[in-house]
Chain A
Amino acid sequence: MKSKPWLAPLLSALFFALFIAIWYVATAPASGSGTAAPAMDPEYAALMGAQAQAGGQSAMPGPGEVAAKIWEHLSDPFYDRGTNDKGLGIQIAYSIARVLGGYLLAALVAIPLGFVIGMSPLIYRALDPFIQILKPISPLAWMPLALYTIKDSGVSAIFVIFICSLWPMLVNTAFGVASVRREWLNVARTLEVSPLRKAFQVILPAAAPTILTGMRISIGIAWLVIVAAEMLVGGTGIGYFVWNEWNNLSITNIITAILLIGLVGMLLDHLLAWVARAISWRE
């Protein structure tokens, strides 16, 4: 088969168009029967607001409305009109800051600790039961405990990100370090390489691809968890924004935020993938 590099993007565009069309049809106001609806008491209609006046239209927006909303957010992402009305750019910035804070803290703990676990079978066996039990705990289960002990909701959110990013990095670092080829370690031994130089110039580069895989898994999980965590702690962030707009019943804003969450998650993943490519080696 001849390779046609334009075929996949074309199909993607086609699927997208199909999706938009179905969405448009599904949310379009039923024009035939809608107009024939019995006239509402004008006073009740006024109470119910504009939507009721329009004739019982669904709260589910069509693609046109969402596109307009996205454009509105994009054209002014950083406005700040009080606690419950901040631009999407500000909200997402809060979320990214929390994720990076918790994630970097986790990396700071997980990579050195994973190194030690990977180097010492004794410490590995000693810590293994704890890791096995702590790893499967949903990070949100920590939230009440964090709120009680830390008392600050913002820091608690960061703690939750920390705890969920920790395990993949820890386990992967330990595995990567433990499975460094015997022959490279033997080369270092015959060259009388100092322990510190061996750690940084032999073991670290050898284990780097495995460590980066763990880091990539972690950033994905952290980004999943931040939305839920912010729904709980409230105040700021994209998760809080989604919850707030649910209370406002602004589905348009929710869909906009969902798209943005996906986009940022993809960018974070690609960033880590790019780093992984830069440090990976081929045999």
Chain B
Amino acid sequence: MSALPSSHTPHPSPVGTPPLAFGAAPAVNKSPYSMSSQPFLKVEGLKRQFPQPGNPDPAPVFEDVHFGIERGQFVCVLGHSGCGKTTILNILAGLDDATAGHVIMDGREVRGPSLDRGVVFQGHALMPWLSALKNVEFAVRSRHPDWKAQKVREHAVKYLELVHLGHALDKKPAELSGGMKQRVGIARAFSIEPKMLLLDEPFGALDALTRGSIQDELIGIVEATQQTVFMITHDVDEAILLADRIVLMTNGPRARIAEIVVNPLARPRVRETLHQQPAFYTLRNHLVDFLVKRSREFQPGPGWDAKNPPLVHPGQSSQPA
């Protein structure tokens, strides 16, 4: 942790007035509680400790994590390794339990895994004894146990075609490239048509070229299905390309959400021309600044409220004091 006093943050912080829910957040920020409806997904006071032998009360990986996601929103979490991004995703997925706090999705508390939340795992997590098609069919059959084989197959094929794998249905994962495997993983997660999709650094292990093409496919399939997406990444450009909101996490242990950045770039976003948009570099610099410096030195300043992490609009002229 930095010894710097909070008021001495070297970055000309464009911190906006705190409050807000994600939603149709306009430049004029409002408290989420003043809005008529609750966000689709609400995370409140999340904290996770990993008790160690001889130390039942170690420093939590993260604590006091509050945020919300609106229906149809694409949210990226950006932070360094060890800040508990994957743990947060696992808690949202129901695969891990929080030490404190809770997650509410669509008015119901998240308890254990559910078909309502599709997960794309860091490693593709395909079953190597099943072909690409059978891997997706396995998920479809879990969602629709009453469907006939033919219908299951058609549904699975449809989603594999959405990620342009119609030609590789009968290939085993071992016969697919890393990018193709991850595309099968994406098709599998989308095929159960969950209320929300969780992606855990899905492109981390891929080369830049492959990553680019799959990101484009992901944009296409998200736009087509209007999915709500929560995605973890440590790639700034990926977050800029994909996200509506970028949640910035400080370094662990005791990681927290420093701020939530609103992505001002208009959709549809095209990789080739994205960097020509005027707001691109302001946003990118803001994110990189955070990762290289502020994530480490972050101190809650006056007015910073963990329950309402500040919503930031980089590059917007009206910068509050």
Whether a CB of chain B sits under 8 angstroms from the CB of A131 is no
Which residues on the A side are within 8 Å of B117 (C-beta)?
Answer: 190
Known: A190-B95, A191-B143. A183 touches B125 (CB 8 A): yes
Chain A residues positioned under 8 Å from B113 (CB to CB): 186, 189-192
A184 and B127 within 8 A (CB): yes
Tell me if B's interface is mostly helix, strand, loop or mixed: loop
Give A182-205 as 1s and 0s: 1 = Cβ < 8 Å from B's Cβ atoms.
Answer: 011011011111000000011001
Q: Are B142 and A193 in contact, CB atoms less than 8 angstroms apart?
A: yes
| B232 on interface, CB distance cutoff 8 Å | no
A75 CB to nearest B CB, Å: 46
Q: A243-283 vs B: 1/0 string, CB under 8 Å?
A: 00000000000000000000000000000000000010111
Residues of B within 8 A of A202 (CB): 127
Nearest CB in chain A: distance from B265 CB, A: 31
What residue in chain A is nearest B174 (Cβ atoms)?
A282
How far is B130's CA from A183's CA once the two chains are assembled, in angstroms?
Answer: 15
A181 to B123, CA, bound (A): 11
Question: Can you sample 24 A-B contacts with CB below 8 Å?
Answer: A183-B121, A183-B123, A186-B95, A186-B113, A186-B119, A187-B119, A187-B125, A189-B94, A189-B113, A190-B93, A190-B95, A190-B113, A191-B113, A191-B115, A191-B138, A191-B139, A192-B115, A193-B142, A205-B127, A208-B129, A281-B129, A283-B128, A283-B173, A283-B174
Q: Does A215 contact B (CB under 8 A)?
A: no
Having A190-B93, A202-B127, A282-B172, one finds 17 other A-B pairs with CB under 8 Å, namely: A181-B125, A183-B121, A183-B123, A183-B125, A184-B125, A186-B113, A186-B121, A186-B125, A187-B125, A190-B113, A191-B139, A191-B142, A191-B192, A192-B114, A193-B142, A205-B130, A283-B128
Nearest chain A residue, comparing its CB with the CB of B117:
A190
Give A204's nearest chain B residue, CB to CB: B129
Is A206's beta carbon under 8 Å from chain B?
A: yes
Return chain A residues, CB-CB under 8 Å to B95: 186, 189-190
Per-position binary interface string of chain B over residues 112-151, scored 1 when its CB falls under 8 Å from any chain A CB and 0 otherwise = 1111011101010101111000000011001100000000
4 shortest A-B CB distances, which residue pairs? A281-B129, A191-B142, A183-B125, A282-B174
User: Could you say which residues of chain A place their CB within 8 Å of the CB of B112?
Assistant: 189
Task: Determine which residue in B115, B139, B142 has the highest number of CB atoms from chain A within 10 A of its CB, and name it.
Answer: B142
**Which residues of the partner chain A approach B115 to less than 8 Å between Cβ atoms?**
190-192
Bound CA–CA A189/B139 (angstroms): 11
Contact residue among B118, B119, B129, B172 (Cβ-Cβ distance under 8 Å from A206): B129
Identify the closest chain A residue to B125 (Cβ): A183
Encode contact with B along A58-85: 1 for CB under 8 Å, 0 otherwise.
Answer: 0000000000000000000000000000
CB < 8 Å: which of A181, A190, A281 contacts B118? A190
Evaluate contact between A281 and B172: CB separation under 8 angstroms.
Answer: yes
Instruction: Report the separation of the CA atoms of residues A153 and B6 in the bound assembly, to the nearest whole angstrom.
Output: 87
CB neighbours of A282 from chain B (8 A): 128, 172, 174
Question: CA of A187 to CA of B129 in the docked complex: distance in angstroms?
Answer: 14
Contact with A along B87-120 (1 / 0, CB 8 A): 0000001110000000000000000111101110
The answer to whether A206 and B93 touch across the interface, beta carbons within 8 angstroms, is no
Q: When chains A and B are docked, how far (Å) is the Cα of A191 from the Cα of B93?
A: 11
Closest chain A residue to B127 by CB distance?
A184
Q: Which residue of A lies closest to B90 (CB)?
A: A186
The one of B114, B121, B173 that contacts A187, using a Cβ cutoff of 8 Å: B121
Are the C-beta atoms of B127 and A187 separated by less than 8 Å?
Answer: yes
Q: Are B93 and A205 in contact (CB under 8 A)?
A: no
Q: In the assembled complex, how far is the CB of residue A83 from the closest CB belonging to chain B, in whole angstroms?
A: 50
Q: Give the docked Cα–Cα distance between A231 and B94 (Å).
A: 60
Cβ–Cβ < 8 Å partners of B118 in chain A = 190
Most buried by A among B113, B117, B139: B113
Residues of B close to A208: CB separation below 8 A: 129
Q: Output the least CB separation between B177 and chain A (Å).
A: 13
Chain A residues whose CB sits within 8 angstroms of the CB of B94 once the complex forms: 189-190
CA distance A190 to B94 in the complex (A): 8
CB contact under 8 A between A281 and B174, given known A187-B125, A191-B115: yes
Query: B93: which A residues are within 8 A, CB to CB?
Result: 190
Contact A206 B127, CB 8 Å, known A189-B113, A190-B113, A191-B115: yes
Chain A nearest CB: distance from B155 CB in Å?
14
Please judge, given known A-B contacts A281-B128, A282-B128, whether A190 and B119 are in contact too, CB under 8 Å: yes
Q: A40-57: which have CB < 8 Å to B?
A: none
In the assembled complex, the Cα of A221 lies from the Cα of B113 at a distance in Å of: 44
The CB with the most chain B CB atoms within 10 A, among A183, A189, A191, A193, is that of A191
Residues of B within 8 A of A189 (CB): 94-95, 112-113
Report the bound CA distance from A196 to B121 in whole Å: 24
Binary B-proximity of A135-154 (CB < 8 A = 1, otherwise 0): 00000000000000000000
Cβ of A182 to closest chain B Cβ, rounded Å: 9
Closest to B96 in A: A186
Q: Closest approach, in angstroms, between the C-beta of B189 and any C-beta of chain A?
A: 9
Q: How distant is the Cα of A202 from the Cα of B174 in the complex, in angstroms?
A: 17
Q: For residue B125, which residues in chain A have a CB less than 8 angstroms away from its CB?
A: 181, 183-184, 186-187
Which chain B positions have C-beta within 8 A of A191? 113, 115, 138-139, 142-143, 192
CB-CB under 8 A from B142, the residues of chain A are 191-193
